[in-house]
Structure 1
Amino acid sequence: MCLILFAYNMHPTYPLILGSNRDEFYHRPTAQAHYWEDYPQILAGRDLSKMGTWMGLTTGGRLAAVTNYRDPNEEVHGKGSRGDLVADFLKGTSTPEQYIQRAEQSRDHYLGINMNH
């Protein structure tokens, strides 16, 4: 199960501590959080298979994360990577509301996801 954790005003030096896990198969290669060479404004872990991410932020203050759920009856072939949703938002300039609205329209192109803004 994917989850996102945060602590607000719990540490004297760090007002916000944020973390998430990547709930995928162990054989799927990943890189730990780093500034991406191809998008140096993005700080995020990276799915090295599909080149997306499960959580990241930019030097300009954009933040995005995705959690998933598995539906054993859902058709998995031909679906896009959920990590593209996070990466595309971090690369873009649309507001969260605009991006969620567009993503909701293509929701069926991805396996089960939770989206909020």
Structure 2
Amino acid sequence: MKYLISIFFLMIVSCSGNCDNISKKFNSYDEAISLVRSTDFSVEEKVDTDSSWIDSIEYYSCDEVSGYLIVNTKKGKSYIHKNVPIQVWNEFKNADSFGRFYNQNIKGNYYLNIN
């Protein structure tokens, strides 16, 4: 019985990722989003918005300096950005207009490399 419990525990631990498992490049944006969401970060936040086109925003950071930002739209599309400073995240989640803040401060400034 102890043997089965040990195997079960190892399977659970091995399935959860950590920051060391994040790639520098990904094969697709969907792969990147999935991997980021399944990794354990020191900062993991999600904010539902009242925006006309942004449904929610998510932020993940290992070092509490910069991290990954995922923007989920009302049409079901998600955009992922890398190396977004935590200060930018804090301003974004408190913005009066999420769309305006995204277009002026994030879009075109933080890229995620796809192979």
Give me the TM-score of the superposition, normalised by structure 1.
Answer: 0.33
Larger radius of gyration: 2
**Larger helix share, 1 or 2:** 2
Give me the TM-score of the superposition, normalised by structure 2.
Answer: 0.33
